[in-house]
Amino acid sequence: MINKCLFPAAGYGTRFLPATKATPKEMLPILTKPLIQYGVEEAVEAGITTMAIVSGRGKRAIEDHFDISYELEHQIKGGSKEELLDEIRSLIEKCTFSYTRQIEMKGLGHAILTGETLIGNEPFAVVLADDLCQNDEAGVLEQMKKVYEKYQCSVVAIEEVPMDETQKYGVIAGKLVDGTEDTYRVSDMVEKPEPKDAPTNLAIIGRYILTPDIFDILRNTKAGKGGEIQITDALLEQAKQGRVIAYKFKGKRFDCGSVDGFVEATNWFYDRMKS
């Protein structure tokens, strides 16, 4: 069973400066909803209600968002705007939120290791809220949970990207599992390879299910590409033992950590709301 979802949300979000100088990237809205709320909704849809958030300096707005705002709620009570808070209220009622801080921003792998104190010794999901995923049927985490239940090992979500974009992603190599068209047993992983060095164009996006032995591996993982502790390097240790599945998810993904992806998501959700 996957009961907990970790949200590494300590990054600086430099691609969105100056907006992210005092506002966490995860709080930037697509229409009226902050990115991290979409991520929490996806986890809830997958049956997960324990949210563990790795935050950092300047990220207080995330905690305030998943809390009651007495003055505001008193002010709009009984009026037409009250329903605008329905979704967030229902999340607050259903879920628990706990927080820990990453003191030094030493990369995604380090952020996940920082979350160990909130996760403990059990398999868990990871959502990078700046990858916004959408599917009309089962959400991406729900799809991945099913894959985890079948294979009982770490699962990464992948999508095919243009070959000239491999340097933005962790890229996998692997063999399709017999009888499937979307499930690979991973044999190799490379962090942000140049196209000429990339084994495939199958890129890891911001959804993972990890088994808890990943924490010990991360503790022993040295800084890699960009001087950061990379989750890809730690996953490679599991992959060498045949314990990583890559799953080509159904649905759309918007890279809301980039301005182009953010605008694309905004337009897509706006068109959908209007139609």
Stretch that binds ligand UTP, among 12-20, 85-93, 178-186, 267-275 (CB under 6 A): 12-20
Which residue do the tokens 């033992």 mark? 241
| Interface pick for ligand UTP out of 2, 5, 6, 10 (rule CB under 6 A) | 10
List CB contacts of 55: < 8 A, sequence separation 6 or more. 9, 10, 24, 62, 63, 99, 100, 101, 102
Residue closer to ligand UTP by CB (options 183, 257) is 257
Question: What track of x and - describes contact with ligand UTP for positions 95 through 114 (by CB under 6 A)?
Answer: -------x--xxxx-xx---
| Nearest residue to 171 via CA among 184, 180, 181 | 184
The β-bridge partners of 252 are 134
Q: Which amino acid is at 152?
A: Q
| Nearest residue to 109 via CA among 235, 233, 244, 230 | 230
Q: Binding to ligand UTP by residue 209, rule CB under 6 A? A: no
With left for phi above 0 and alpha for psi between -120 and 50, is residue 193 left, alpha or beta?
A: beta
Q: Binding to ligand UTP by residue 15, rule CB under 6 A? A: yes
Q: Cβ of residue 69: shortest distance to ligand UTP, in angstroms?
A: 24
Q: Binding to ligand UTP by residue 34, rule CB under 6 A? A: no
Q: What is the DSSP letter of 105?
A: -
Q: Cβ of residue 14: shortest distance to ligand UTP, in angstroms?
A: 3
Residue closer to ligand UTP by CB (options 141, 151) is 141
Residue closer to ligand UTP by CB (options 105, 173) is 105
Q: Which amino acid is at 191?
A: E
* Residues binding ligand UTP (CB under 6 A): 8-15, 25, 54, 102, 105-108, 110-111, 128, 130, 257
